[in-house]
Structure 1
Amino acid sequence: QGQDLVMILKKDTMSLVDPLNHSLIHHQPILSIRVWGVGCNNGRDFAFVASDKDTCVLKCHVFHCNVPAKGIAKALHEMCSKIVAERAIASSGPPCTTTLESISAEDLPLQVDILEAVRQSMQTYEALYIGSLPVPRAMGMDVLNEAIEKLTRGLGRERWMPSLIHVSDTAMRVHPAQDEEAAYIWECQVRYVTFLGVGRDAHTFALIVDTGRRFQCAAFWCEPDAGTISEAVQAACMV
């Protein structure tokens, strides 16, 4: 049964609060959200998928909003971009403390250069490339899981290819681990990614891409799990 709630988006967390007694009903770290979307019921339905902290099972949370839900989606997009940029800047150099008053006009070009470097930075991950195949729809965990199962059943694990996955804010490229200079095995522009997620087995990660003529799903086996690469690709899609 539905429950009236107030959604609060602050810093890196989504909080759901009882509007009467202001008690906290649920809180969700924003970067742990796997996917979100706006429904077609006058644009006031909103949903997100995230792993339950107790059972580690993916759950879909659905809301009917009293305001257009695209505002929530836009706010989440902006918050994710900000969080990713702040983390990248923090990891790119030694810790420093800077107050607002200490930033002079001479500092501004440097700030712009740093942010541009963050956007162009590339992250690399090791994984086994299982393969890819056409899928009937652009979105859906059912589509993703069915594709993963078909690919894992079709080839023996000994034929999965050890790979290096390069993720930037514009593209995802997969190269053979033995020869990084060789031609890529698989590539997509992140703007064409329509859906991504972790499969029923937490080691599996897959994404669906719009190739123009059809939708293609590529799947990977990750160690120790697929959470890190899933978050990286999701963040790249939001920059």
Structure 2
Amino acid sequence: MRDFAYVARDRVSRKHMCHVFRCDTPARTIANTLRDICKKIMIERSLQQNLNKPLDTGSGGGGGGSRLTRPTNLPTENRRTHRHPQIITTAQSFPTPMEEPKKVMRVQYVGVLQVERPSGMEVINTAIQRVVEANPPPWRNVSVAVAPSTVTITNADDGKQIAECRVRFLSFLGIGSDVKHCAFIMHTAQDQFIAHVFFCEPSTGALCKTIEAACKLRYQKCLDAHPGVGRGGRGAGTPRTISATLRSVLGTITGRKARSAES
């Protein structure tokens, strides 16, 4: 099939128009590419809304960071250049990297525990139970800063960093039997699996949803970096594993929210 069409709203008339094309290449390829671009935009928009949305935890609240705009081109005004046959120098400095957007939440850190497996709700519930029994309240007040690439846990009292977790190594995330407890599992460089356990009132749903958004964006970036992987090409096994893990993580959160609403 070489016929392709999409519907978009016209900027002038504000009416929805259907644009139809006859393609020299298979239309499915163009449709899939457009779908992936739209999906990426929606995921980034969802993450931005999650990071900028105010949070009400019921026990001290939290704060969020504003999204900073990264420069898309080099400034050209008032730039002094010195040309040499093989050297070109610029007096104006190169733009400095911008800080990642992040959302900071105030929760309580129950503790950490090494687990045997990288995923599974039974692993999460067992880890939460064992950590809570080993570390009775009161628990430490911490700030959890969630960015697209990292989840940073910092002691709220003295500002010391407890852990910095790379989102790419997060293998599972889940809410416990009590919705006030949640945990996520990290795969360490020593090939071990570590579960970080948190407590938040009235529930840990907001924390999990924010980490979920970061996982979605990270996964989409992996697909963008390897466009041929995961669609039957060479090395497709790894993205399918990542995709299955992400689906299990997001399904766990969705299922837990549904059961909580029913009760």
The TM tier, using the shorter chain, reads: 0.5 to 0.7
Higher strand share: 1
In 1, are the aligned partners of 2:46 and 2:213 still within 8 Å (CA)? no
CA distance in 2, matches of 1:89, 1:156: 33
Superposed CA deviations along residues 171-190 of structure 1, whole A, max 9, x for unmatched, are: 1111111122x2x1122111
> CA 1:84–1:146 in 2, change beyond 3 Å: closer, same or farther?
same
In the other structure, the counterpart of 2:164 is 187
Structure 1 gaps, min length 5: 1-73, 94-107, 111-115
CA distance in 1, matches of 2:52, 2:154: 27
> CA 1:86–1:211 in 2, change beyond 3 Å: closer, same or farther?
same
In 1, are the aligned partners of 2:47 and 2:210 still within 8 Å (CA)? no
Alignment length (residue pairs)? 143
> CA 1:76–1:177 in 2, change beyond 3 Å: closer, same or farther?
farther
Paired AA for residue 188 in structure 2: T
Query: Are residue 216 (structure 1) and residue 194 (structure 2) matched?
Result: yes
In the other structure, the counterpart of 2:213 is 235
TM-score, scaled to structure 2: 0.48
* Equivalent position to 2:47, from 84, 100, 117: 84
In 2, are the aligned partners of 1:196 and 1:206 still within 8 Å (CA)? yes
In 2, are the aligned partners of 1:170 and 1:191 still within 8 Å (CA)? yes
CA distance in 2, matches of 1:173, 1:222: 17
Q: Map 1:1-239 to 2 at 5 A.
A: 78=40, 79-85=42-48, 109=72, 120-158=100-138, 160-180=139-159, 182=160, 184-212=161-189, 213-239=191-217
RMSD across aligned C-alpha pairs, in angstroms? 3.0
TM-score, scaled to structure 1: 0.53
Identical columns (%): 27
Structure 2 gaps, min length 5: 1-35, 55-65, 74-96, 218-263
CA distance in 2, matches of 1:226, 1:90: 16
> CA 1:236–1:77 in 2, change beyond 3 Å: closer, same or farther?
farther
List structure 1 segments (4+ residues) > 3 angstroms apart after TM superposition. 74-82, 85-93
